């Protein structure tokens, strides 16, 4: 099992104007408030989320694919921000205002249905880091089985975006 230091979520270090995402924004009162954390060794990022019944899909008792994509989207961009931050030799502290990344491309492979009310674990690893681009690979599991995989190309945004 990957050890996570849950002191500070990556999303909580976004600058104020970038904290309003419905999926992961700490300042969005109606959002999911998904949180991503670097692993203890900093080589992966981890998100856990337990969906309730309102996210059911076309197959009863399983979540809809859009929520899967949202969780990958939010976790992937947070992971890209962390991997770029770490690549510069920086730490994640309460004073950190991490550089924000957005999705340029997201490929999702749906493997098996994800059950409602079951904890989902999303893990990510960096594939490539460039000056403004980070490529992230992710897996989503529930009940000990990989249910979906994703690959994201994330790009850093300018603060005036």
- Print the domain residue range for 56: 11-156
Collapsing DSSP to helix, strand or coil, 84 comes out as helix
Q: What is the mean pLDDT of the chain?
A: 92
- pLDDT score at 160: 58
Position of tokens 């009940």?
143
Locate all alpha helices (DSSP H) within the chain, ordered by sequence. 65-87
56 Cβ contact partners less than 8 Å away, ≥ 6 residues apart: 62, 63, 64, 116
In a domain, 3, yes or no: no
Split into its structural domains, the chain has a count of 1
Q: Is the pLDDT of residue 125 over 70?
A: yes
Q: Can you give the pLDDT at residue 147?
A: 97
pLDDT band at residue 159 using 50, 70 and 90 as cut-offs? low
What confidence tens digit (pLDDT) does each residue in 45-97 have? 999 999 988 899 888 899 999 999 999 999 999 999 999 999 999 999 989 99
Q: What is the CATH number of the domain that holds 72?
A: 3.10.129.10
- Domain contains 97: yes
Q: What is the pLDDT of residue 11?
A: 95
């Amino acid at each position: 099992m990957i050890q996570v230091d849950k002191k500070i979520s990556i999303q909580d270090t976004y600058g104020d104007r970038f904290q309003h995402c419905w999926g992961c924004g700490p300042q969005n009162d109606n959002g999911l408030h998904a949180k991503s954390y670097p692993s203890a060794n900093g080589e992966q990022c981890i998100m856990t989320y337990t969906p309730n019944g309102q996210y059911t899909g076309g197959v009863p008792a399983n979540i809809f694919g859009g929520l899967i994509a949202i969780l990958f989207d939010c976790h992937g961009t947070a992971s890209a921000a962390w991997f770029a931050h770490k690549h510069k030799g920086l730490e994640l502290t309460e004073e950190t205002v991490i550089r924000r990344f957005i999705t340029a491309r997201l490929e999702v492979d749906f493997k098996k249905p994800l059950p409602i009310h079951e904890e989902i674990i999303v893990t990510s690893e960096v594939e490539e880091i460039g000056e403004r681009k980070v490529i992230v690979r992710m897996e989503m599991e529930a009940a000990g089985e990989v249910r979906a995989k994703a690959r994201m190309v994330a790009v850093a945004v300018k603060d005036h975006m």
